[in-house]
Amino acid sequence: MTVTAGTTAASAALAALAAVRDPELDEPITTLGFVASCAVSCEGQAVIRLRLPTYFCAPNFAFLMVADAYDAVIGVPGVTAAEVILEDHFAADQINQGVAAQAGFVKSFDGEAVAELGDLRAQFLRKAVMAGTDVVCRPLLKAGVTPAELTVLTLGVVPPTGQLQSLKRRRAALALPADDDSPLLIDPATGKAVTAEAVPLHLRKARVTRAGIEANTSICSGMLSHRYPGAPPGQPRRSAIGRNK
């Protein structure tokens, strides 16, 4: 990754990009190595270049990441304009032009797309809730909490961890119960508490969902490293491109 050296605005832009997540993998695009470069000029013009593991990564996923990256960077203090450029992708022109014009997914893929991507985003957030549930519950089960006892636990009594906070954020993003009085185990589609009888199946689904996301993340990381062998994910190169005075 090329990052502008010693500039407050560029550092802030990169920090903002850490809040942008791959919708399928539920990991920051910075951690995944999808940010190829991040530069902010003296005039506040930000240029972000993104890269993905393959030339044929799903265009709807790619569009979400490019659009989210634009929204994240344009809100950074000191940034007056932003351009997010997806590179080496079969639909790069449509995605880049559509995001720049704030046209939305349907207009960007006129005649090909029939709906915006809110439902897709919600679908992957529900998967992230299930995976997060597994991550939070496994230590509890290991400590001796029984599956039946999980049904009476609330978020407020679970030991505070980064994983718990992440789970709360995912639930809140779906308008699901996420305060301290909310049940730990809920159906991410309805928000209703999971019954004692349904806990074993719910936990199995959560474990399988988490394992699937982790497997996909590993595969994508390997493909990205193979595609861009000179720039391993998470290893930025410092550069003076666009350095502020």
Arithmetic mean of pLDDT, 147-164: 97
- Whether 240 has a pLDDT exceeding 80, the answer reads no
Query: Has residue 87 got a pLDDT over 50?
Result: yes
For residue 51, name the pLDDT band (cuts at 50, 70, 90): very high
Tokens of 189: 């589609």
- Six-digit token string for 207: 């474990």
Quick one: average pLDDT of 143-161? 97
* Residue 81 DSSP SS3: strand
In this prediction, residues 163-174 reach a mean pLDDT of 98
pLDDT digits (tens, 9 = 90+) for 117-128: 999 999 999 999
Is residue 235 over pLDDT 80? no
Q: Is the dihedral of CA 145, 148, 154, 155 positive or negative?
A: positive
| Strands (DSSP E) found in the chain | 2-4, 35-40, 45-50, 81-86, 237-239
**Quick one: pLDDT at residue 4?**
55
- Does 242 have pLDDT greater than 50? no
- For the chain, what are the domain ranges? 2-116+221-239, 118-217
Query: Considering the chain, what is the average pLDDT of its residues?
Result: 92
Distance CA 106, CA 112 (A): 8
Give the tokens for residue 33: 């190595």
CA distance 24 to 53: 13
pLDDT of residue 176: 98
pTM of the model: 0.90
The residue count of the chain comes to 245
pLDDT band at 231 (very low <50, low <70, confident <90, very high): low
- Cα of 74 vs its chain's centroid, Å: 18
Question: Using 50, 70 and 90 to split pLDDT, how confident is the model at 8?
Answer: confident
Dump pLDDT digits (tens) for 181-225. 999 999 999 999 999 999 999 999 999 999 999 999 999 999 999
Fold of 2-116+221-239: GMP Synthetase; Chain A, domain 3 (3.30.300)
CA 134 to chain centre: 18
- Both structure tokens of 121: 């985003």
Distance (Å) of CA 121 to CA 24, 97, 173, 187: 9, 21, 10, 17
The pair of structure tokens assigned to 20 is 């942008």
Comparing 5-9, 92-96, 130-134, 228-232, the range with the smallest average pLDDT is 5-9
